[in-house]
Chains A and B, each alone.
Chain A
Amino acid sequence: MLVMSEYVSRMLRKRSAQDPTLSDDEAELGRIAREAMRDPDSFVADDEDRAFLALARATSVARREIEDAEDAEAYGESAPAASDLTRTRHELQRCLEIDPHCYDARLLLTLADAKNDDDALARLLALEDEARAWCRQRSDELDGFVLDPWDALFMRPYLRIEGRIVDLLTTSARYRAALERCRRLLADSPADGQGIRHTAALILARLEDEKGLDDLDARFGRTGSAWMHVARAILLYKLGRMDAARRAVTGLATLCPGAAYYLANPTYVQPYLPDRPPFTPGTAQESLLATYEADFLVMDTPDFVTWALSVESFTHAASEYGRLHGDDL
């Protein structure tokens, strides 16, 4: 989630709602947007905006705190204060004092406060109805007509909660329930701005639902993605169709830069705050995110990577990427 750019978009939408002529004046919209990026504080109109700006601050504090905790861990120090995310929590609480309906802050605070995954899940499930009702109301007031729910900026906080519920159902190995939600989200939001289809692809492979995976791929025009490639390769391996699996692994290695390397060398990715970071399709960045998210699927198929490394093109791609990026495989 790019908090600042979403802040600016929300601000523009609010102004357009007040002044309908503005929505046709692209030059003026561009000018306001640039101005707002430079000096966001001067565009704050209400507590909702103020809380959203505080959220931007909270996420950058969170990022710093997580990095500090990682450093401390790397140097073998125990850093309870840093890993407790005390300052982050404080910042998030501040957002909520300004605007109790800042659902992104509620979401992050819930994740930070939860004892474990089941606890986080229970709390988010208790939150989702309220978030939906509120966001729906704000969206009706401000977003106007949109083609896809993701384009309804004021619905996004709710959709992000849904996305994390899917993630938590997945990490607690409740794949059928996670898939159920993915299906509902995809039905409501055909353009899938949030990228729920990527998670769905991995789950379908985990549940060995070949038809489901194929239907999903067809639905998005078989455009492919690192997630889809990983899902298909592992699914074919699971089903024991080794010739097809070999071709899929070759496709994965050649079409997704770095994917073979990251599968062979699981690489750390920072916790999502709260959703998948933006990425450029077709890059190693996409491969990294996809393989990181696919961890549950890869771990459940323990011999897959070893087998994939017996495929020449896969090993070659993995070592080549490692060599270019200063790492021996």
Chain B
Amino acid sequence: MSARADDFERLAVRWAQTPYASLGYPSAIAAITAFPEVYATSRDSLPQTDADRAFALMGKAADILDGTLLFASDDDQANALTAEAIGYLDEALKLDPTCYDAMRMRYMLEHGTRDVMVSFLTEHEGQVRARCVEVARAANMLAPEGHWSVSVFQRPYLRWLFNLANEQLNCGRYTRSLEVCDRLMGLDEQDAAGARMIAALDYVKLEDADGLAALEARFASDRNAWFDLCDVFMAYKRQDLATAATRLHVIVRDYPGAGNTLTAQDEVSAGAFARLSYQPRSADELYIAVSESAVILDENCGDAASALSDWIADDAIVRHAFDAESAKRREGSDETGGAPDAGGSRGAAASDAGVPGVSGAPHAPEGRG
């Protein structure tokens, strides 16, 4: 999910609902065809409500928090960027107090994550849901259960639940987190928010092999780095090291920069708007999945590295990949990917080049102990 894509869609809806003649076009088709260019050149002059303006401001904050901030060079810059994001969010909430994405991002910046965030998100959840339905219905865009992500006006609730499930996972409340993921996947079978990845981590935490298998079967067409990693974790936990190693080596084969990512096991803070975006099967995908797996990789080890974390980093194939990637980097002929393509993947493109910018982020990545 991206704030920009949502903004585009919101304004497209307003545009389509405005009579084409009043926009100065000879036909509805002509108006619709013209929209992308008008959006690109003069977005602010397009017909929009205060809620749309608020959403756009929130989007600017999201660009900072989930993008620029990750590459901040020092604390001063990071603080300045955070202050700027807070400014946008406050402005957004003034225009539209029900700009729920802005609301939870603002709360997170003020109060931090985990327990306090869980309480906040739980408390307002019913209200967010009701309001999203109301707004979608008013725009004549109410998507039915199972397809919530189709409607841009219902997505804020999906992100709200996603945020809740993620915080619960990080609080050690796995059953609760799973319940929220299940609701999320029920509302949106396509799971645009990516709750299935959180659910996979929950199942590993609960060591529920059947649950994980059923989840992966439900999304059989979707192989992602989270499922790949969770299969490794689950095999390791049941002491099936041969299977765990085989699955680990498939990851090394399939994801660029895997040697470095699996060795460093960096942790970056979760996306404020939604999960940080990435190209499928990219270095970024594995980097983000490993970062979110910190709840498993760092379990029960205090300041040292956990047995599992060591086992992965010490694996011969992982080390070999790491050495090969390092050599390649030294040669300066680094082509293994990991860099975000322009405009596409914002941020988190850290894995391949030894985490160039992310290391300066306010929540400096916590590598292995």
Residues of B within 8 A of A174 (CB): 207, 236-239
Give CA–CA (A227, B118) in the complex, Å.
27
Interface residues of B in 149-182 (CB under 8 A from A): 170-176
Asked whether any CB of chain A lies closer than 8 Å to the CB of B310, the reply is: yes
Asked whether any CB of chain A lies closer than 8 Å to the CB of B242, the reply is: no
Asked if B173 and A238 make an inter-chain contact with CB atoms under 8 angstroms apart, the answer reads yes
Residues of B within 8 A of A239 (CB): 173, 175-176
Contact of A304 among B172, B237, B238, B306 (CB under 8 A): B172
**Residue in B173, B236, B238 with the greatest tally of chain A CB atoms within 10 Å:** B173
Q: Known contacts A300-B172, A302-B171; decide if A173 and B237 are in contact (CB<8 Å).
A: yes
Which residue from chain B places its CB closest to the CB of A301 in the assembled complex? B172
What is the number of residues of chain A that contact chain B, defined by CB distance less than 8 Å? 24
Give CA–CA (A114, B181) in the complex, Å.
41
Give chain B nearest CB distance to A301 CB in angstroms.
4
Asked whether any CB of chain B lies closer than 8 Å to the CB of A177, the reply is: yes
Asked if A306 and B207 make an inter-chain contact with CB atoms under 8 angstroms apart, the answer reads no
Interface residues of B in 225-282 (CB under 8 A from A): 236-239
Interface residues of A in 296-328 (CB under 8 A from B): 296, 299-304, 306-307
Give chain B nearest CB distance to A204 CB in angstroms.
11
Give CA–CA (A37, B58) in the complex, Å.
77
Asked if A299 and B237 make an inter-chain contact with CB atoms under 8 angstroms apart, the answer reads no
Interface residues of A in 94-119 (CB under 8 A from B): 116-118
Residues of A within 8 A of B207 (CB): 174-176, 207
Interface residues of B in 274-311 (CB under 8 A from A): 296, 299-300, 302, 306-308, 310-311
Asked whether any CB of chain B lies closer than 8 Å to the CB of A221, the reply is: no
Residues of A within 8 A of B170 (CB): 302
What are the interface flags for A200-212 relative to B under an 8 Å C-beta threshold, 1 for contact and 0 otherwise? 0000000110000
Asked whether any CB of chain B lies closer than 8 Å to the CB of A172, the reply is: yes
Asked whether any CB of chain B lies closer than 8 Å to the CB of A240, the reply is: yes
Give CA–CA (A250, B207) in the complex, Å.
30
Contact of B307 among A118, A299, A304 (CB under 8 A): A118
Interface residues of A in 260-315 (CB under 8 A from B): 296, 299-304, 306-307
Asked if B239 and A177 make an inter-chain contact with CB atoms under 8 angstroms apart, the answer reads yes
Give CA–CA (A86, B53) in the complex, Å.
71
Asked whether any CB of chain A lies closer than 8 Å to the CB of B206, the reply is: yes
Asked whether any CB of chain B lies closer than 8 Å to the CB of A171, the reply is: yes
Asked whether any CB of chain A lies closer than 8 Å to the CB of B189, the reply is: no
Residues of A within 8 A of B96 (CB): none
Asked if A240 and B307 make an inter-chain contact with CB atoms under 8 angstroms apart, the answer reads no
Asked if A208 and B174 make an inter-chain contact with CB atoms under 8 angstroms apart, the answer reads yes
Asked whether any CB of chain A lies closer than 8 Å to the CB of B129, the reply is: no
Give CA–CA (A172, B206) in the complex, Å.
14
Asked if A118 and B115 make an inter-chain contact with CB atoms under 8 angstroms apart, the answer reads no
Asked if B173 and A117 make an inter-chain contact with CB atoms under 8 angstroms apart, the answer reads no
Give CA–CA (A190, B339) in the complex, Å.
60
Which residue from chain A places its CB closest to the CB of B172 in the assembled complex? A301
Asked whether any CB of chain A lies closer than 8 Å to the CB of B114, the reply is: yes
Give CA–CA (A302, B113) in the complex, Å.
11
Residues of A within 8 A of B306 (CB): 172-173
Which residue from chain A places its CB closest to the CB of B241 in the assembled complex? A118
Residues of A within 8 A of B236 (CB): 174
Residues of B within 8 A of A208 (CB): 174-175, 206
**Do most interface residues of chain B lie in helix, strand or loop, or is the interface mixed?**
helix
Asked if B300 and A173 make an inter-chain contact with CB atoms under 8 angstroms apart, the answer reads yes
Asked if B171 and A303 make an inter-chain contact with CB atoms under 8 angstroms apart, the answer reads yes
Give CA–CA (A207, B174) in the complex, Å.
9
Residues of B within 8 A of A240 (CB): 173, 176
Q: Known contacts A176-B238, A208-B175, A238-B172; decide if A171 and B300 are in contact (CB<8 Å).
A: yes
Which residue from chain A places its CB closest to the CB of B115 in the assembled complex? A303
Residues of A within 8 A of B310 (CB): 116, 118
What are the interface flags for B308-331 relative to A under an 8 Å C-beta threshold, 1 for contact and 0 otherwise? 101100000000000000000000
Q: Known contacts A208-B174, A301-B172, A303-B171; decide if A173 and B308 are in contact (CB<8 Å).
A: yes
Which residue from chain B places its CB closest to the CB of A119 in the assembled complex? B307
Asked if A118 and B300 make an inter-chain contact with CB atoms under 8 angstroms apart, the answer reads no
Give chain B nearest CB distance to A129 CB in angstroms.
16
Give CA–CA (A285, B206) in the complex, Å.
31
Residues of B within 8 A of A301 (CB): 171-173
Q: Known contacts A174-B238, A177-B237; decide if A300 and B300 are in contact (CB<8 Å).
A: yes
Q: Known contacts A117-B307, A118-B307; decide if A177 and B238 are in contact (CB<8 Å).
A: yes
Which residue from chain B places its CB closest to the CB of A172 in the assembled complex? B307
Which residue from chain A places its CB closest to the CB of B299 in the assembled complex? A173
Interface residues of B in 97-125 (CB under 8 A from A): 114-115
**Residue in A172, A173, A239 with the greatest tally of chain B CB atoms within 10 Å:** A173
Which residue from chain A places its CB closest to the CB of B304 in the assembled complex? A116
Give CA–CA (A317, B69) in the complex, Å.
43
Which residue from chain B places its CB closest to the CB of A120 in the assembled complex? B307
Residues of A within 8 A of B307 (CB): 116-118, 171-173
Give CA–CA (A172, B175) in the complex, Å.
21
Residues of B within 8 A of A307 (CB): 115
Give CA–CA (A172, B239) in the complex, Å.
10
What are the interface flags for A202-244 relative to B under an 8 Å C-beta threshold, 1 for contact and 0 otherwise? 0000011000000000000000000000000000001110000
Asked if A299 and B300 make an inter-chain contact with CB atoms under 8 angstroms apart, the answer reads yes
Residues of A within 8 A of B296 (CB): 173
Residues of B within 8 A of A300 (CB): 172, 299-300
Give CA–CA (A208, B206) in the complex, Å.
7
Give CA–CA (A300, B206) in the complex, Å.
12
Give CA–CA (A297, B174) in the complex, Å.
13
Which residue from chain A places its CB closest to the CB of B171 in the assembled complex? A303
Give chain B nearest CB distance to A46 CB in angstroms.
38
What are 19 contact pairs spanning A and B, CB under 8 A? Answer: A116-B307, A116-B310, A117-B307, A171-B300, A172-B307, A172-B308, A173-B296, A174-B237, A175-B207, A175-B237, A176-B237, A177-B239, A208-B174, A238-B173, A300-B172, A301-B171, A302-B172, A303-B115, A303-B171
Would you list the 7 A-B pairs with minimal beta carbon distance, nearest first? A303-B115, A301-B172, A176-B207, A172-B307, A296-B300, A173-B299, A208-B175
Contacts A118-B310, A173-B307 supplied; 8 other A-B pairs, CB < 8 Å: A173-B306, A174-B236, A174-B237, A176-B238, A177-B238, A239-B173, A302-B171, A307-B115
